[in-house]
Amino acid sequence: MSSTLLTEQSLRQWLTDFRPRRFLANAHLQTLAGNFLRRDITLPQPQRMLVEVEGPVAGYGSTLVACDCHWQPEEVRKQRLTMVLVHGLEGSSNSRYVLGNTARALAAGCNVVRMNMRSCGGTDEISPTIYHSGRSEDVAAVVRAIVEQHQLESIALVGYSMGGNLVLKYLGEAADGSVPQVKAAVGVSPLMDLAVSSAALHEPQNRIYEWHFLRSMTGRLRRKAAMYPRLYADAAIDKIKTMRDFDQHIVARYGNFADADDYYYSVASSQYAASFHVPTLIIHSLDDPFIRMLPETRMALETNPAVTLIETQKGGHCAFLASGANDDGRWAETTLLGYLLEHASGS
């Protein structure tokens, strides 16, 4: 493992070397195993919370996002650290890494809020509008809601991949300290530089990922066209062959961007990398198949004293399946929880 910020403060118990699991040194094997490897996780029944993120559009109702919440007993709830988890592209509050982080955080005495992006987790019926990488206002709405409802004192935001961009964009936008309850943030394989990462997804060795995402995304769009014809009946679904096509014809059009390039530039959390103001952990693998970090982004993170940037040689995308007796071998989950308990815990 190499880290660009190995300060004395960051070299604590939670920071251990990452060594890939046997037979999983290859980036693609790590990525696929991390996504599909079976996990036996049992969680208590969550409380469902609906948060309005956008008002009525085209004669349809407001857009809501659904969160699955796990609260510690009321007498200690507001003093405990609350982890808000945001999934990646075409994931949900039930994605395996979300559930894994939830189990760990609950066992450590934290509250956990598993946030779905718009339409995700089977919530098309409460979300006329689409999600995209720039919807940091949805994270802001969820944070406001849980603070108001539970008078929370300490919140940590954790985002994977696209969710990492949402979390980090929100963090940059809140750099004025207007939400003092937000004490720390973590991005795991965060999509901070959209243009180069979108281009990487179209490289020949990554087409399997692109096809997987597009099949799911166009399927969702067809469902939305049936549910909300006044919005999507004329969506150019047949023109979509690549991720950039989807961003050009769907995200730009329905997200009010001029085109795909405007979208990539406008919503990239990398523009805020120098201004993150609370303890922020970035975990990124140098062999990630399709997430690319530009040199200027890396430099901004390295020189920001609030940021701990950990870059591993191996690990794939959002996987980090480790060898040895490191808990159950989910190195990123163990590492981020240790970081947050040290830097953000109010208990």
How many residues in the chain?
347
| Claim to verify: residue 167 and residue 121 sit in the same structural domain | yes
CA distance 279 to 184: 5
d(CA 294, CA 306): 19
Per-residue pLDDT of the chain (347 residues; tens, 9 = 90+): 333 333 344 446 788 889 999 899 999 999 999 988 888 899 999 999 999 999 999 999 999 999 999 999 999 999 999 999 999 999 999 999 999 999 999 999 999 999 999 999 999 999 999 999 999 999 999 999 999 999 999 999 999 999 999 999 999 999 888 899 999 999 999 999 999 999 999 999 999 999 999 999 999 999 999 999 999 999 999 999 999 999 999 999 999 999 999 999 999 999 999 999 999 999 999 999 999 999 999 999 999 999 999 999 999 999 999 987 556 789 999 999 999 999 987 54
Q: Is the separation of the CB atoms in 201 and 243 below 8 Å? A: yes
pTM of the model: 0.94
Compute the distance between CA of residue 183 and CA of residue 340 in angstroms, rounded to an integer.
Answer: 9
What's the rounded Cα separation, in Å, for the pair 154 and 180? 8
Give CA 100 to chain center in angstroms: 14
Number of domains in the chain: 2
Together in a domain, 140 and 157: yes
Q: Specify whether 242 is located in the same domain as 332.
A: no
147 and 209 co-located in one domain: no
* pLDDT (0 to 100) of residue 344: 86
Question: Angle at Cα 309 formed by Cα 143 and Cα 32, nearest 5°?
Answer: 80
Where is the domain boundary, 211, 242, 267?
Answer: 267
Q: Mark residue 177 as left, alpha or beta (left: phi above 0; alpha: psi -120 to 50; beta: remaining).
A: left
- Show the domain range for 308: 2-193+273-343
DSSP run (H or E) holding 282:
strand 280-285
**Residue 175 pLDDT:** 83
Residues 177, 282 within the same domain? yes
Q: Which residues contact 148 (CB under 8 A, 6 or more apart)?
A: none
136 and 252 assigned to the same domain: no
Cα gap 227→221, rounded to integer Å:
10
Whether residues 247 and 226 share a domain: the answer is: yes
Annotate 27-60 with DSSP letters as a single string. Answer: HHHHHHHHHHS------PPPEEEEEEEE--BTTB
- Residue 1's pLDDT is 36
Is the domain of 237 the same as that of 217? yes
Are 144 and 259 in the same domain? Answer: no
Q: Are residues 189 and 248 in the same domain?
A: no
**158, 37: one domain:** yes
- Exposure string for 301-334, b = 16+ CB within 10 A, e = fewer: beebebbbbbbbebbbbbbbbbeeebeebbbbbb
Domain boundary among 242, 267, 292: 267
**Are both 201 and 254 inside the same structural domain?**
yes
Looking at 267, 296, 321, the residue that finishes a domain is: 267
As a 3-state breakdown, the chain gives helix, strand, coil percent values, each rounded to 5, of 40, 15, 40
